[in-house]
Amino acid sequence: MEKISNKVINRLTQYHSILVASIKKGETTVTSSYMAQLLKIDDSQVRKDVSMLNNTGKSRVGYDALELKETIEKTLGFSNPKNAFIIGAGNLGTALAKYNDFEDYGLRVLALFDIDKNKIGKSINSKPVYDINELSRYTKEKNVEIAILTVPADFAQSIADFAVKSKIKYIWNFSPAVLSVPVGIDVWNENLMGNFLQFSYKISK
Protein backbone atom coordinates (compact mmCIF):
# COMPACT_ATOMS: atom_id res chain seq x y z
CA MET A 1 0.00 0.00 0.00
CA GLU A 2 1.24 3.53 -0.81
CA LYS A 3 2.46 5.82 2.02
CA ILE A 4 -0.55 7.43 3.70
CA SER A 5 -0.55 11.20 4.21
CA ASN A 6 -0.97 12.76 7.67
CA LYS A 7 -4.38 14.13 6.66
CA VAL A 8 -5.66 10.66 5.76
CA ILE A 9 -4.14 9.17 8.94
CA ASN A 10 -5.97 11.84 10.92
CA ARG A 11 -9.28 10.93 9.25
CA LEU A 12 -8.67 7.20 9.78
CA THR A 13 -8.27 7.82 13.54
CA GLN A 14 -11.61 9.65 13.47
CA TYR A 15 -13.35 6.83 11.55
CA HIS A 16 -11.87 4.48 14.14
CA SER A 17 -13.41 6.45 17.03
CA ILE A 18 -16.80 6.42 15.30
CA LEU A 19 -16.55 2.66 14.68
CA VAL A 20 -15.59 1.99 18.33
CA ALA A 21 -18.61 4.00 19.53
CA SER A 22 -20.96 2.30 17.03
CA ILE A 23 -19.76 -1.18 18.00
CA LYS A 24 -20.28 -0.29 21.69
CA LYS A 25 -23.88 0.61 20.83
CA GLY A 26 -24.32 -2.82 19.24
CA GLU A 27 -24.30 -1.68 15.61
CA THR A 28 -22.78 -4.11 13.15
CA THR A 29 -22.60 -1.87 10.09
CA VAL A 30 -21.67 1.77 9.57
CA THR A 31 -22.27 3.72 6.37
CA SER A 32 -19.88 6.14 4.74
CA SER A 33 -22.56 8.83 4.82
CA TYR A 34 -23.01 8.44 8.59
CA MET A 35 -19.25 8.94 9.18
CA ALA A 36 -19.12 11.79 6.67
CA GLN A 37 -22.04 13.55 8.34
CA LEU A 38 -20.44 13.33 11.79
CA LEU A 39 -17.10 14.63 10.53
CA LYS A 40 -18.69 17.26 8.28
CA ILE A 41 -16.86 15.96 5.22
CA ASP A 42 -17.95 14.62 1.87
CA ASP A 43 -19.27 11.08 1.61
CA SER A 44 -16.96 10.42 -1.35
CA GLN A 45 -13.94 11.33 0.82
CA VAL A 46 -14.79 8.56 3.28
CA ARG A 47 -15.26 6.05 0.47
CA LYS A 48 -11.97 7.12 -1.12
CA ASP A 49 -10.06 6.77 2.17
CA VAL A 50 -11.55 3.34 2.89
CA SER A 51 -10.84 2.16 -0.65
CA MET A 52 -7.11 2.73 0.03
CA LEU A 53 -7.20 0.13 2.80
CA ASN A 54 -7.16 -3.61 2.36
CA ASN A 55 -10.76 -3.79 3.56
CA THR A 56 -12.68 -6.56 1.90
CA GLY A 57 -15.68 -4.85 0.50
CA LYS A 58 -18.81 -3.14 1.59
CA SER A 59 -22.30 -4.49 1.78
CA ARG A 60 -25.30 -2.58 0.49
CA VAL A 61 -26.09 -1.45 4.04
CA GLY A 62 -22.62 -0.14 4.87
CA TYR A 63 -19.21 -1.28 6.05
CA ASP A 64 -18.89 -4.18 8.47
CA ALA A 65 -18.02 -2.10 11.58
CA LEU A 66 -15.75 -4.66 13.25
CA GLU A 67 -13.92 -5.53 10.06
CA LEU A 68 -13.28 -1.89 9.15
CA LYS A 69 -12.15 -1.12 12.71
CA GLU A 70 -9.66 -3.99 12.55
CA THR A 71 -8.45 -2.97 9.10
CA ILE A 72 -7.78 0.56 10.36
CA GLU A 73 -5.98 -0.84 13.41
CA LYS A 74 -3.77 -2.98 11.21
CA THR A 75 -3.04 -0.03 8.93
CA LEU A 76 -2.14 2.25 11.83
CA GLY A 77 -0.04 -0.41 13.57
CA PHE A 78 -2.21 -0.91 16.69
CA SER A 79 -1.66 -4.64 16.45
CA ASN A 80 2.09 -4.12 16.83
CA PRO A 81 2.34 -3.04 20.50
CA LYS A 82 4.93 -0.49 21.54
CA ASN A 83 6.46 -0.10 25.00
CA ALA A 84 6.94 3.35 26.52
CA PHE A 85 8.17 5.15 29.64
CA ILE A 86 6.70 8.32 31.10
CA ILE A 87 9.32 10.86 32.20
CA GLY A 88 7.88 13.16 34.86
CA ALA A 89 5.50 11.55 37.39
CA GLY A 90 3.62 14.78 38.18
CA ASN A 91 0.00 15.74 37.48
CA LEU A 92 -0.03 14.92 33.78
CA GLY A 93 2.37 11.95 33.98
CA THR A 94 0.18 10.43 36.70
CA ALA A 95 -3.02 10.99 34.70
CA LEU A 96 -1.48 9.34 31.61
CA ALA A 97 -0.17 6.42 33.71
CA LYS A 98 -3.72 5.87 34.97
CA TYR A 99 -5.21 5.83 31.48
CA ASN A 100 -5.63 2.12 30.77
CA ASP A 101 -7.10 2.59 27.27
CA PHE A 102 -3.61 3.20 25.80
CA GLU A 103 -3.19 -0.60 25.74
CA ASP A 104 -6.15 -0.90 23.33
CA TYR A 105 -4.25 1.37 20.97
CA GLY A 106 -1.02 -0.62 21.11
CA LEU A 107 0.79 1.55 23.67
CA ARG A 108 2.09 -0.15 26.81
CA VAL A 109 3.36 2.21 29.51
CA LEU A 110 5.80 0.14 31.56
CA ALA A 111 7.12 2.65 34.12
CA LEU A 112 7.63 6.28 35.07
CA PHE A 113 10.84 8.19 35.85
CA ASP A 114 11.32 11.21 38.08
CA ILE A 115 13.89 13.09 40.15
CA ASP A 116 11.63 13.53 43.16
CA LYS A 117 12.76 11.22 45.99
CA ASN A 118 9.19 11.21 47.38
CA LYS A 119 7.90 9.65 44.14
CA ILE A 120 10.76 7.26 43.32
CA GLY A 121 10.07 3.74 44.60
CA LYS A 122 6.28 4.21 44.60
CA SER A 123 3.83 2.92 41.97
CA ILE A 124 1.14 4.61 39.93
CA ASN A 125 -1.54 2.27 38.58
CA SER A 126 0.85 -0.66 39.21
CA LYS A 127 3.59 1.04 37.20
CA PRO A 128 6.84 1.62 39.14
CA VAL A 129 8.38 5.09 39.45
CA TYR A 130 12.16 4.89 38.98
CA ASP A 131 14.98 7.35 39.47
CA ILE A 132 15.66 9.21 36.21
CA ASN A 133 19.30 8.11 36.48
CA GLU A 134 18.11 4.53 35.84
CA LEU A 135 16.58 5.45 32.46
CA SER A 136 19.45 4.15 30.33
CA ARG A 137 19.57 0.81 32.12
CA TYR A 138 15.79 0.19 31.86
CA THR A 139 15.64 1.38 28.24
CA LYS A 140 18.11 -1.33 27.28
CA GLU A 141 16.70 -3.95 29.63
CA LYS A 142 13.05 -3.53 28.55
CA ASN A 143 13.83 -2.59 24.94
CA VAL A 144 11.82 0.64 25.14
CA GLU A 145 11.98 3.17 22.31
CA ILE A 146 9.27 5.69 23.27
CA ALA A 147 9.44 8.34 26.01
CA ILE A 148 6.35 10.31 26.98
CA LEU A 149 7.72 13.61 28.21
CA THR A 150 5.72 15.26 31.00
CA VAL A 151 8.35 17.37 32.76
CA PRO A 152 8.21 21.17 33.22
CA ALA A 153 9.11 23.03 30.01
CA ASP A 154 12.38 24.38 31.47
CA PHE A 155 13.75 20.85 31.88
CA ALA A 156 12.31 19.33 28.72
CA GLN A 157 15.34 19.89 26.46
CA SER A 158 17.89 18.53 28.92
CA ILE A 159 15.68 15.50 29.61
CA ALA A 160 15.17 14.96 25.87
CA ASP A 161 18.98 15.01 25.41
CA PHE A 162 19.34 12.55 28.27
CA ALA A 163 16.62 10.29 26.83
CA VAL A 164 18.31 10.28 23.42
CA LYS A 165 21.63 9.36 25.09
CA SER A 166 19.74 6.57 26.85
CA LYS A 167 18.75 5.22 23.38
CA ILE A 168 15.16 6.49 23.31
CA LYS A 169 14.14 6.98 19.64
CA TYR A 170 10.68 8.54 19.81
CA ILE A 171 9.54 11.35 22.10
CA TRP A 172 5.88 12.18 22.65
CA ASN A 173 6.34 15.67 24.05
CA PHE A 174 3.55 17.05 26.25
CA SER A 175 5.59 20.03 27.41
CA PRO A 176 5.23 23.30 25.51
CA ALA A 177 9.03 23.38 24.91
CA VAL A 178 10.21 23.20 21.30
CA LEU A 179 12.76 20.40 21.32
CA SER A 180 15.88 20.10 19.25
CA VAL A 181 16.85 16.47 18.61
CA PRO A 182 19.42 14.73 16.41
CA VAL A 183 18.52 13.36 12.97
CA GLY A 184 16.88 9.95 13.33
CA ILE A 185 14.95 10.85 16.49
CA ASP A 186 11.23 11.57 16.09
CA VAL A 187 9.33 14.06 18.25
CA TRP A 188 5.55 14.32 18.27
CA ASN A 189 4.36 17.49 20.03
CA GLU A 190 1.13 17.36 22.00
CA ASN A 191 0.85 21.08 22.38
CA LEU A 192 -2.42 21.58 24.26
CA MET A 193 -2.04 25.33 24.59
CA GLY A 194 -1.03 25.65 20.94
CA ASN A 195 -4.19 23.75 19.97
CA PHE A 196 -6.23 26.01 22.20
CA LEU A 197 -4.70 29.08 20.54
CA GLN A 198 -5.82 27.76 17.14
CA PHE A 199 -9.30 27.10 18.54
CA SER A 200 -9.37 30.53 20.19
CA TYR A 201 -8.38 32.18 16.89
CA LYS A 202 -11.15 30.28 15.08
CA ILE A 203 -13.91 31.21 17.54
CA SER A 204 -12.85 34.83 17.88
CA LYS A 205 -13.21 35.51 14.13
Q: Cα 180 from chain centroid?
A: 21
The CB-of-7 to ligand NAD minimum distance in angstroms stands at 25
Does 166 sit near ligand NAD (CB under 6 A)?
Answer: no
DSSP secondary structure code for residue 105 in this structure: G
Q: Which of 114, 124, 146, 148 binds ligand NAD (CB under 6 A)?
A: 114
> Minimum CB separation from ligand NAD for residue 153, in Å?
5
What is the C-alpha radius of gyration for the chain, rounded to an integer number of angstroms? Answer: 20
- Contact characters 133-162, ligand NAD, x per CB under 6 A: -----------------xxxx-x---x---
Least separation in angstroms between CB 156 and ligand NAD: 6
65 near ligand NAD (CB under 6 A): no
Asked if residue 96 binds ligand NAD (CB under 6 A), the reply is: no
Considering the rule CB under 6 A, would residue 176 count as an interface residue with ligand NAD? yes
Binding-site size, ligand NAD (CB under 6 A): 23
Q: How far is the CB of 25 from ligand NAD (least distance, A)?
A: 30
Residues 6 or more apart whose Cβ sits within 8 Å of residue 129: 89, 111, 112, 113, 114, 119, 120, 121, 122, 123
**Binding span for ligand NAD by CB under 6 A among 23-31, 102-110, 111-119, 163-171:** 111-119
* Bridge-based pairing state of the strands 146-149 and 127-131: unpaired
**For residue 95, what is the enclosing H or E element?**
helix 91-97
Alpha-carbon span 173 to 144, nearest angstrom: 16
SS3 content of the chain, % helix, strand, coil (to 5): 45, 20, 35
Q: Which residues bind ligand NAD (CB under 6 A)?
A: 87-93, 113-116, 119, 132, 150-153, 155, 159, 174-176, 192
